Structures are given as structure tokens and as C-alpha cells.
Structure 1
Amino acid sequence: MDKQKKILVAGASGALGLEIVKFMSEQGYELRVLTSSDDGEQKLTPYSNDIWKADASKEVSRIKDITAGIDTVVSALGNSVSLFTPNKESFYEIDYQSNKNLLQDAKKNNVKRFVYISIKGADSNKDYTVANAHKLFEQELRASSIEYTVLRPVGFFSGIHDLAIMAKRNVIPIVGDGSAKTNSIHHEDLAKVVVRYVDSGPELIEVGGPKIHTRLEMAEMIQEAIGGKIIKIPEIVADAGLALPKFFDDFHDKLDYFKYITTRDMIGEQYGTTTFKEYLSNLDKNQLP
């Protein structure tokens, strides 16, 4: 790792972005960071004195030359996929337009490398709204002259909070028979994978955690840690559920993608050390809504 290089971390105050920033700071990298909130700025103050605050999807003038003097851009910019979190902006605006604006600035300033955290399923034949925004940006990145690595995590442990929230409310739904397999990863472990490829790496990596489980096995671990009753929902019933009234604007888009990823094998290269069971044992149930 060349720690003399200057790195821009975008989406730096999110769950993954903050872990990337912490780890890179510990490794001695010089960092510029981008956040969109006052709270994010406070979180980042201990790790960088070069903090930019802007909404990269809309406030293009405020990110002008944010990549000047930068060797590598690391983008963890992305919308929440939680069914319980209404997003202020669309997946298109955050996952695509924000990153496109950063890429255009990077091209203008001759940035050498761009590391982008995408999502498993971005290459799906069906244009799921959640995944399609990532797909569109991946296409922009491939068409650019910048060296790049796209990481597609199969899912974060923290992204399974929805099931933990439901378990706290005494139900753990599984779409289908629960036989689909995945190896989700802890966001701290994923941050270390991201940093590994700051200087060089393959164009595409699908990243997973250390252990592969079926969705049913993961539900049983949630049940053991939190409680709740496991309920299997036939896919046809889940499809009918997509016709329910919207709780917020992107609810159906998230539900559609949730069904997709939980009924198919979502397995990536195995990285990290933290297991799902260990993650659940350290989860503060009082922090769950």
C-alpha cells in the first residue's frame, strides 16, 4: 500500500464509509472525505481535517474539484436498502447520479483510480430499481479512462437488521423455503477488503464473508439470539405482497429486491473473520426500533 497517496472517501460517514475511513487513518493514509450532513462531519473530524460537506447528487458546484490532487477515489455512496428506512432521495439520485458527478470531476482532474462499492445483483437481467442504479454507474465507470475496481458485496450483516427488527416483533419472515445460500459480510471486514484494493486490483470482485449459510440457518440464528417465530412465505404470496399500498416511495422497490436476493444463492469470494453468529451475539437489541 502506497500511503503517500491522497485518497478521497465519498459516503464517508455511512456505516461502511466510516469503517473505511477509520481503517485507512490507522494505516496512515492522507484522507479527504465527503459527507452530506452535519452529523457526518462530526463523526469524521477525528480522522481528517479535509472534510467536504455536500449532496453530491444535486450540489455539483459544491463538489467542484473535490478530486483535485487525489490519487484514488473510494466511493461508498449509496442509499439504504432497509425496508424500515424511507430514503430522502431515490436510488437513481444517490447510487447513480452522485457517483457520476464524482466520476466526471475525477476525469477532469486526472484521477488515476476509482474504487466503487456496488451491490451483488447489479448484473441481473431484470432491472430492479435498487440494483439498476448501481448497474448504470458501473457502465459509466467501465466507459471511462480511469483504472477501477468494482466490489459487489453479497450483503452486509447490518443489512439484515430488518429481520432482527421483525424478530423483536416476534416474526421472522422467509420468502420461499429458505434454502438459498449466502455469505454476508461484516462491514468492518468489508472495509479492510476495500482498502486492500486502493492501489491496484481486478476490475470486479464479488465479496462475501467467511461462512456460507442458508437463509433458513440465518433465520434460526436470529431466532436464537432475539426470539420470534420463523414464517415461510411462498414466493407467489410475496409477489402478491408487492401490490400492497406503499409505506413510503421506494418501499416496493426495496421489497422487490429483498425477494430477489433472499430466494437466490448470493455467494461471493470469502473474506474476513467475523461470523454472523458472532455479529448477532454483539448486537445491542435495545438499539433496534
Structure 2
Amino acid sequence: MKKVLIAGASGVLGMELCKLLSQNAGIALRLQTSSSEGTEKLKEYSNDIFIAGNEDDFTGIAADIDIVVSALGNSVSLFTKNDSSFYQTDLYTNKKILEDAEKNQVGRFIYVSILGAEENEKMSLPGSNRLFEKSLETSDLEYTIIRPVGLFSGLHDLGIMAKRKLVPVIGDGKAKTNSIHQSDLALFISEVLEVGDKLIEVGGPEIHTRLEMAEMIAERFDAKTLKVPESIAEAGVILSSFSEDIKHKLENFKYITTHDMIGKSYGTRTFKEYLENIDENELP
């Protein structure tokens, strides 16, 4: 039986991995979360739960583990306040897990990074991901780095704005992307769990422009799209410097929505289907 550690298990992608891998009789799970709330969410999938946050000791987290899957990272939502920086969580906390994995001679480490990490090392979010990628690349472990285009759930911010009847589109909206459903990404990870290329960039089955996606969101919530010139969006990033967390999220949001972000096509779930299944009462 393979023993798999899922770091960031109580997050959106982590939960999908828990649901999927817990159904495999040949896998035993150890699940990492940083809170008691996370523990409650994970109890049905494993009784081997490692509770530790950024400031805690991760010694022993990888003891007796065959494969580590890290979906650990800060929230990118503008409506969720992070208590730590992207560097603290996405880089340094993942490095604690990696160090323990090396110490315990783990066979394989899968890291869920972000598309664009290599091209945008000076930005906080992709930069912290890229620095951890480099740590993994120079480790003694067999590894796979997965760079997803972006999850459908990462677009909930636009749904929240749509409830207030406006969906912003930065620039001309012509940038293209093939975001992926978190369940499809979890399935993809399960397929490369034991063997896979060192670097994989993956997206969903359909390519849309950012304007097309905004229009689908607007239709779903009976809202309107609003084009925001890039110069104004850039000014917003600068003016948000009173909050480093917001500044870095806006910086990342502006970049990904104004550049083509396309990965290897995978999965079956479409963005329109995903929107139809959103319970707007669950959005703030």
C-alpha cells in the first residue's frame, strides 16, 4: 500500500484530492491542515491528520510517506485576507515539508505550482512558486511540477462582483485561457501520482477569451461587464500598497487576465457548466 501525504488538504484542490484518493484501496492518506476547522473537514477521509501552520514545526510530517502531493499555498482571492505572505506559505512552508521529505527519503514529490511562474519571478505569487520549484529541482527527490492555468474556483471573485451587478474586464479582454475545474485537476494529478514528466503545464478542455468568460459570468448573475483600461488597473495596484496582500493579488490578477494563459488540454468539465452549478447564496 502506498502512503500519500497531501499538504494543503483542506483547500479547494486538496479536498478534491482527498475525495478522489480516499476511494483508492491501495492508498493510505496523511493530510496536512493548519486549523481545527480544516481537521473537521478532513476527518471523513483519514484519521492521520498533521496539524501545522507556517510558524510550526513540520518535523515528521513525511515519516513513512511514499509520495508527497503539495497543494499548499495562500488564497489568491481579493475577498480572503491572508495572515502570511506568499513567500511565507508558498515558499518557506513548502520548503519545510521538502526538507522533511528528503530526510525521510520520500520516493516522489508532486508540487502544484502556477502557470507563468518562470516568466514572472519578480512578482510575489509566481515568484514564490518559482523559488520553491528551484528548491525541488535541486533536491534528491524524484519530482513532478504541475503548473495549472488556473482553477475555476479562482474566478469566484468575479462571481462575487457579479452579484453586485458588474464584472470587470481589464484591457480589451482578448487574452485567452483554458482554466480547469479543480476536480479535473485532481484527476490529472492522480494519473501522474507514481510517474510523470518533471514539468507539466495543464489546463481545461476549452479555450475562452477573458471577455467571453466575463460575459458568461455576467449572464449567469444578470450583471454587466465593465472594461477597465490597463492604466487604471495598474494605478489600482500602486494605490493598494497600503496592503501588501491586496497589492500582490491585484498585481497577479492584472497579469493573468491580460496575457494568454494556456496549458495542455485536459478534463471534461466546462466553465459554463461550472457556473450553472454555483450556489450564489454561498458567495458573500
Q: Would the TM-score normalized by the shorter structure come out above 0.5?
A: yes
User: Structure 2: which amino acid aligns with 1:255?
Assistant: L
> Retained in 2: the 8 A contact 1:171–1:229?
yes
* Stretches of structure 2 lacking an aligned partner (at least 5 in a row): none
1:181-225: CA deviation from partner (whole Å, max 9, x where unpaired): 000011111111111111010001111011100001101100110
Residue identity over aligned pairs, in percent, reads 56
Please tell me whether residue 31 in structure 1 is matched to residue 29 in structure 2: yes
The aligned counterpart of 2:255 is 260
RMSD in angstroms over aligned alpha carbons?
1.1
Alignment partners' CA distance in 1, 2:33 and 2:269: 27
Alignment partners' CA distance in 2, 1:175 and 1:226: 19
The aligned counterpart of 1:123 is 118
The aligned counterpart of 2:265 is 270
Q: Which moved more, 1:194-203 or 1:119-128?
A: 119-128
The aligned counterpart of 1:98 is 93
The aligned counterpart of 1:110 is 105
Q: CA deviation at 1:274?
A: 0.8
1:23-70: CA deviation from partner (whole Å, max 9, x where unpaired): 001122111111111111111111111111111x3212xx21111111
Q: CA deviation at 1:259?
A: 0.6
> Retained in 1: the 8 A contact 2:121–2:130?
no
Alignment partners' CA distance in 1, 2:121 and 2:113: 17
* Alignment equivalent of 2:56, drawn from 51, 54, 59: 59
SS at match of 2:110: strand
Alignment partners' CA distance in 2, 1:145 and 1:126: 23
1:62-110: CA deviation from partner (whole Å, max 9, x where unpaired): x211111111100010000111111011101110011100000000110
> Retained in 1: the 8 A contact 2:120–2:126?
no
> Retained in 1: the 8 A contact 2:5–2:67?
yes
Structure 1 ranges of 4+ moved more than 4 A: none
TM-aligned CA distance change 1:169 to 1:247, over 3 Å? farther
Q: CA deviation at 1:126?
A: 5.1
Alignment partners' CA distance in 2, 1:16 and 1:26: 16
Alignment partners' CA distance in 1, 2:121 and 2:31: 34
The aligned counterpart of 1:44 is 42
> Retained in 1: the 8 A contact 2:30–2:46?
yes
Q: CA deviation at 1:244?
A: 2.0
* Stretches of structure 1 lacking an aligned partner (at least 5 in a row): none
> Retained in 2: the 8 A contact 1:86–1:248?
no
Give aligned pairs, total: 283
User: Structure 2: which amino acid aligns with 1:23?
Assistant: L
Normalised by the length of structure 2, the TM-score is 0.97
SS at match of 1:26: coil
* Alignment equivalent of 1:151, drawn from 131, 146, 154: 146
SS at match of 1:6: strand
